Chain A
Amino acid sequence: MKSFQQARWEEPLLWELSLEGRSGCLPPVDERVIREVGSVEELVPDKIRRKSSLDLPELTENMVVRHFVRLSQMTFCVDTGMYPLGSCTMKYTPKAAEAAAALPGFRDIHPLQHEDTVQGALRLMYELQQILAGIAGLPGVSLQPPAGAAGEFAGCLIIRKYFEERGEVDRRTEMLIPDSAHGTNPASAAMAGFEVVVIPSGSDGLIDLEALKATVSERTAGIMLTNPNTLGLFEKNILDITRIVHEVGGLVYYDGANLNAIMGWARPGDMGVDIMHFNLHKTFGAPHGGGGPGSGPIAVSKELEEYLPVPVVAYDEERDRYYLDYNRPKSIGKVHGFFGNFPVLVKAYVYIRLMGRGGLKRAAAHAVLASNYLARRTEVLRGLKLSHAPHLLRKHEFVLTATELKAQRGVTAGDIAKRILDFGLHAPTMYFPLIVKEALMVEPTETEPLETLDSYAEVLSQIVNEAWSSPEQVKRAPYATTVRRVDEVRAARPKTRALTWRDLKRLKEKEGSI
Chain B
Amino acid sequence: MLRFLGLEKLDDLFEDIPEEVRQRCCLDQVPEAVPEVVLWRYLNKLAAQNRAEPYRRFVGGGLYAHYVPAAVDFIAARTEFVTSYTPYQAEVSQGLLQALFEYQSLIAELFDMEVVNASLYDGATAVGEAIRMALRVSKRKKVIVPKLMPPHRRRVLQAYTTALDCKIVEIGYDNRGLLDLAELEQEVDDATAAVYVENPTCLGAFEEQIFEISDIAHKKDALLIAYVDPISLAIVEPPGAYDADIAVGEGQPLGLHLGFGGALLGIFACKRKYLMKMPGRLIGATVDVEGRRAFCMTLQTREQHIRRERATSNICTNESLSAITAAAYLALLGPQGLRRVCEAVLANTAYLARRLNTLPGVTAPAFEGVCYFREIPARFDGWLAREIREMCIKRGIDPGLDLGTWFEGFERILLACTTEVHQKEDLDRLVSVLAELVR
Contact = CB atoms under 8 A, between A and B. Distances in A.
Most chain B beta-carbon contacts within 10 A, residue among A50, A57, A149: A50
A58 interface: yes
Contacts of B162: 157, 160, 192-193, 332-333
Interface residues of B, number: 195
A83 interface: yes
Nearest to A101: B259
Contact of B262 (A55, A335, A345, A427): A345
Which 7 A-B pairs rank lowest in CB-CB distance, beginning with the nearest?
A134-B29, A193-B163, A356-B33, A105-B47, A338-B261, A111-B261, A120-B49
B61 A112 contact: yes
Most chain B beta-carbon contacts within 10 A, residue among A51, A93, A116, A196: A116
A65 B13 contact: no
Interface in B348-391: 348, 350-351, 354, 370-371, 389
Contacts of B322: 289, 292-293
Given A32-B424, A72-B78, A265-B17, A426 B261 contact: no
Interface string B405-416: 000000000000
B354 A342 contact: no
A88 interface: yes
A26 B83 contact: no
A266 B259 CA distance: 33
A290 B85 contact: yes
Contacts of B307: 183, 187
Most chain A beta-carbon contacts within 10 A, residue among B49, B286, B317, B335: B317
A486 B85 contact: no
Interface residues of A, number: 210
A22 B286 CA distance: 29
A343 B304 contact: no
Given A25-B69, A184-B316, A289-B82, 15 more contacts: A33-B351, A44-B346, A44-B371, A77-B83, A103-B47, A107-B259, A112-B401, A118-B260, A134-B27, A190-B314, A265-B25, A288-B85, A357-B32, A476-B289, A484-B290
A28 interface: yes
Interface stretch (A10-18, A207-215, A244-252, A461-469): A10-18
B262 A338 contact: yes
A167 interface: no
Given A57-B334, A149-B304, A491-B296, A108 B30 contact: no
B283 interface: yes
A222 interface: no
A110 B53 CA distance: 10
Contacts of A429: 88
Nearest to B86: A291
A286 to B, nearest CB: 10
A403 B30 CA distance: 44
Given A10-B292, A184-B304, A501-B105, A427 B241 contact: no
B102 A134 contact: no
9 contacts: A13-B101, A69-B75, A106-B52, A146-B319, A357-B33, A393-B16, A482-B94, A490-B286, A499-B101
Interface in B1-21: 1-2, 4-5, 10, 13-18, 20-21
Given A50-B241, A147-B315, A78 B83 contact: yes
A96 B241 contact: no
Interface in B336-356: 336-344, 346-348, 350-351, 354
A381 interface: no
A384 B365 CA distance: 71
Given A43-B350, A492-B299, A498-B285, A267 B321 contact: no
Contacts of B48: 105, 120
A500 B53 contact: no
Contacts of B91: 418, 421, 478, 481-486
Given A336-B122, A369-B10, A67 B331 contact: yes
B308 A357 contact: no
A56 interface: yes
B116 interface: yes
B257 A107 contact: yes
A149 B314 contact: yes
B71 A342 contact: no
B98 interface: yes
Interface string A109-147: 111111011111101100000110111010000000011
A48 B236 contact: yes
Interface in B27-49: 27-34, 36, 39-40, 43-49
B282 interface: yes
B401 A234 contact: no
A370 B2 CA distance: 9
Contact of B34 (A70, A341, A353, A392): A353
A503 B109 CA distance: 11
Given A236-B16, A262-B17, A514-B293, A106 B331 contact: no
A178 interface: no
Most chain B beta-carbon contacts within 10 A, residue among A134, A186, A289: A289
Contacts of A503: 285
A310 B40 CA distance: 30
A486 B314 contact: no
Interface in B217-258: 233-238, 240-241, 250, 257-258
Contacts of B14: 262, 265-266, 365, 368
Interface stretch (B139-147, B149-157, B167-175, B189-197): B149-157
Interface string A68-79: 111111111111
A103 B48 CA distance: 9
